[in-house]
Amino acid sequence: MMKGLKKWRFPAMLAALALVLSGCGEEYLSTLRPAGEVGQEQFNLLILTSLIMLLVIIVVVVIYVAALFKFRRSKLGEDHMPDDVEGSHKLEFIWTAVPILLLLIIAIPTVYYTYKLGDVSAMEKTNDDGDPEHLVVDVTAKLYWWEFEYPEYGIVTAQELVVPTGEKVFFNLKAADVKHSFWIPAIGGKMDTNVDNLNKFYLVFDKESKDLKDGVFYGKCAELCGPSHALMDFKVKTLNRDDFDNWVASMKDTENQVADKDSADAGEAAFAQSCIGCHATSAVGASGAAGPNMATFGDRNRVAGYLDHSKENIVNWIQDPQKYKPGNLMPAFDSLSDEDLDAIADYLLGLKVEE
Ligand code: CUA
């Protein structure tokens, strides 16, 4: 019985692995399903190096197994003595030249793309009117959330990055407290955000995110930054240029966001009393706030970057933020009445700029 089971141990393990790993292929999250020029170029490098590695492994294994069988004692006899050779110029040449060749095949495209993808000179370019030619987003990573400022438009948002499709978007990356790392797996490789310098790179978003599950790409913090590092998620909405321009226009007008529920008025008042010191509700402004900007909160996909976007989660979060993101800087507002909490949640859910 045990023997019969043992026979299936390896195939069962493979099947379990396949099942677990198949979860890694989601379009909104996977490096292996690139959705932009940068991600595609990096993916191609990944495939090239993996193929060459695979080729080396196959050749080595084949030679090894062939030698094992060909030179077995049972085949050659007990008294067989191998030829006494002092060396082989032919073999030495092959095992020196082939690795050099393989490394060259890997090195040339790697160096080329390292320089190409690191080239941010176009960032400063302006058109005839003096406007920047490319969109630049200033990203600030904080414990444990993300701030996105669009200096050209004088607007700021948090937790959900909004970008146009089909063009280079440049990023200035920095951190406000400790080192984090900005990563949108489906769009391109990660880059650190540091406290003492600006890191710059560009990404291209080729696919509108509305077709995806939840309508967004997933972004992550990729540098161990504290107890809530794994919860430091953000989302990315990619819109075509026209929709993006409309979004910018409505973001400039968030002073007058109207919530349509009655309790939202009470919520606005309660929010003004307890929350506004850290959380702005107008998108017009610059980065540097103590807490995430709330201007588009009603349009977002998550509470605190990763919880389901529900009223219940907003209330729970306000009452005890440490329970959901240990180590974050928001104190608990457990003295607020149930009515106030309810009203604040209604008010926040009403803060929208999208239809
Ligand atoms: Cu921020 Cu990990």
Please report which confidence band the pLDDT of residue 260 belongs to, taking 50, 70 and 90 as the band edges.
Answer: low
Q: pLDDT by residue (tens digit) across 294-320?
A: 999 999 999 999 999 999 999 999 999
SS (H, E, C) 209-271: HHHCHHHCEEEEECCCCCCCHHHCCEEEEEECHHHHHHHHHHHCCHHHCCCCCCHHHHHHHHH
Q: Which residues contact 163 (CB under 8 A, 6 or more apart)?
A: 135, 137, 169, 205, 236, 237, 238, 239, 244
Return the pLDDT at 81: 84
Between residues 74 and 41, which one has the greater pLDDT?
Answer: 41
CB 267 within 8 A of CB 311: no
Counting atoms of ligand 1 from 1, which one is nearest the CA of 175? 1
Q: 234-239 and 217-221: which strand pairing? A: antiparallel
Ligand 1 pocket residue status of 233, Cβ below 6 Å: no
Maximum C-alpha span of the chain: 98
Give which of 171, 168, 129, 125 is closest to 150, Cα–Cα.
Answer: 171
Residue closest by Cα to atom 1 of ligand 1 = 180
Of all residues in the chain, what percent carry a pLDDT higher than 90? 72
Q: What average pLDDT does this structure show over 263-290?
A: 87
The pLDDT assigned to 3 comes to: 60
Task: Flag whether pLDDT at 10 surpasses 70.
Answer: yes
Other residues' Cβ atoms within 10 Å of the Cβ of residue 211? 9
pLDDT greater than 70 at residue 2: no
Cis check for the bond before 144: say yes or no (omega within 30 of 0): yes
State the pLDDT at residue 314: 96
| Closest ligand 1 atom number to CA of residue 228 | 2
| The pLDDT of residue 156 is above 60 | yes
Asked if residue 279 lies in contact with residue 289, where contact means CB atoms within 8 angstroms, the answer is yes
Mean pLDDT of the 212-229 span: 95
Q: Which numbered atom of ligand 1 lies nearest the CA of 226? A: 2
Residue 160 near ligand 1, beta carbon < 6 Å: no
Mean pLDDT, the chain, rounded, equals 91
- pLDDT score recorded for residue 261: 59
232 CB within 6 A, ligand 1: yes
In this predicted structure, the answer to whether residue 146 has a pLDDT above a threshold of 80 is yes
Distance CA 339, CA 86 (A): 90
